[in-house]
Amino acid sequence: MSRDGSLLLEFTNVNTYYGDLHALKNVNYTIGKGEIVSLLGGNACGKSTTMKTIMGIVRPATGTVIFDGKPIEKLPTSERVKLGIAPVLEARRLFPRMTVYENLEMGAYTQPRGARFSEDLERVYSLFPRVKERRNQLGGTLSGGEQQMVAIGRALMARPRLICMDEPSMGLSPLYVEQVFDIIQEINKQGTTIFMVEQNANMALSIAHRAYVLQTGAVVLSGTAAELRVNPLIREAYLGELKVDVAA
């Protein structure tokens, strides 16, 4: 199930542990080229662990992770970045004592310097004029919304084919949440596949093509965003946000 039918990322029977804690339980996902796929779920259900498993920060005990037809579960993180996977981390995680410009440079760490770098930088600056204004400020001194823009810009600097976003709406004011989600949609239209972990199901389902619902490490539901938006199970059990919204 993908925009043009071919898969960019496949997660097959993935099991991940932290010591005795079984954090991902036989998880299966697919992400098609060009899609926005969202992974929904409450606190501590394994959303960030999924992200970290894709990036290679944690290794699955069993299962395969295939990116563009190539198994990557044994590759180090740096190789995965070179293949075209870039993260937007939970709570943004800018390098706090580096300038915005240096943060963007770090995003381009695996990329050759030169004309391409300037091109990518211009692209980020035109998507986020605010980031350009702030380019000489330290990452730690920006507001949450500004940091999120830099974090997304930093991911774009890697020329990714897949951006993995961990709760991009977390801690942002509603105005910034709107903006961030508009930008995510824009970036997707420009050709980048998006995998987005979210607690804010309402917002996520408004831009995602498909979504999976994770509960204590296991996928319990999946479908198109349109299906999930009206699924009573979701409203009852998993997505407080949606329930409130529907009631209102």
Partner 1 sequence: MTTADLFLQQAINGLSLGAMYSLLALGFTLVYGIMELINFSHFNVFMVGSFVAMVTLQMFGLSGQDTILTGLPLVGVMLVAFLASMTLCGAIGVAIERFLLRPLRAVKGPAAMITTIGVSYVLFNAVLLSIGADSKNFPNPLPPLTFAIGGAVLRLREILIWIISLVLMGGLTYFVQFTRLGKAMRATAQDPEAARMMGVEVDRVVMTAFFVGSALAGASGMIFGLYYNLSKVDIGFAAGLRAFTAAVLGGIGNVPGAMVGGVLIGLIEALSGQVVGTAWTDVIIFGILVLVLVFKPVGLMGRVAPNKS
Among 15, 26, 48, 137, binds ligand ADP (CB under 6 A): 48
- DSSP H helical segments within 65-143, as ranges? 77-83, 100-107, 115-127, 129-133
Q: Is 32 an interacting residue with respect to partner 1 (CB under 8 A)?
A: no
DSSP class per residue in 183-204: HHHHHHHTT-EEEEEES-HHHH
The entry of ligand ADP, Mg ion, partner 1, none that residue 23 binds, CB within 5 to 8 Å by partner kind: ligand ADP
Indicate the helix (H) or strand (E) that contains 228: helix 225-230
As measured in angstroms, the least distance from the Cβ of 88 to ligand ADP is 14
Contacts of 216 by beta carbon, 8 Å cutoff, 6+ apart: 25, 45, 46
Distance CA 238, CA 223 (A): 15
Please report, for residues 64, 147, 167, 180, 205, the alpha-carbon distance to residue 200 in angstroms, rounded to integers and kept in the order given.
28, 19, 8, 13, 9
| Segment lying near partner 1 (by CB under 8 A), choices 23-31, 77-85, 190-198, 220-228 | 77-85
Q: Is 82 an interacting residue with respect to partner 1 (CB under 8 A)?
A: yes
In the chain, what is the straight-line distance between the N-terminal and C-terminal CA atoms, in Å?
33
The entry of ligand ADP, partner 1, Mg ion, none that residue 21 binds, CB within 5 to 8 Å by partner kind: ligand ADP
The residue behind tokens 């409203």 is 235
Residues 85-144 that bind Mg ion (CB under 5 A): 90
As measured in angstroms, the least distance from the Cβ of 164 to Mg ion is 12
Query: Residue 46: exposed, middle, or buried by beta-carbon count in 10 A (0-12, 13-18, 19+)?
Result: buried
Q: Nearest to residue 177, comparing CAs of 165, 169, 189, 186?
A: 169
Residues 33-62 that bind Mg ion (CB under 5 A): 47-48
Q: Is 137 an interacting residue with respect to partner 1 (CB under 8 A)?
A: no
Q: Is 91 an interacting residue with respect to ligand ADP (CB under 6 A)?
A: no
Contact flags string 154-183 toward partner 1, x per CB under 8 A: x---x-------------------------
In 193-245, the DSSP E strands lie at 193-198, 210-215, 218-224
Q: Is 168 an interacting residue with respect to ligand ADP (CB under 6 A)?
A: no
As measured in angstroms, the least distance from the Cβ of 83 to partner 1 is 10
As measured in angstroms, the least distance from the Cβ of 223 to ligand ADP is 20
Q: Is 45 an interacting residue with respect to ligand ADP (CB under 6 A)?
A: yes
Residue 120 or 198: the one with the smaller Cβ distance to ligand ADP is 198
Residues 94-123 that bind partner 1 (CB under 8 A): 95-98, 102, 105-107, 109-110
Beta bridge partners of 169: none
Residue ranges binding Mg ion (CB under 5 A): 47-48, 90
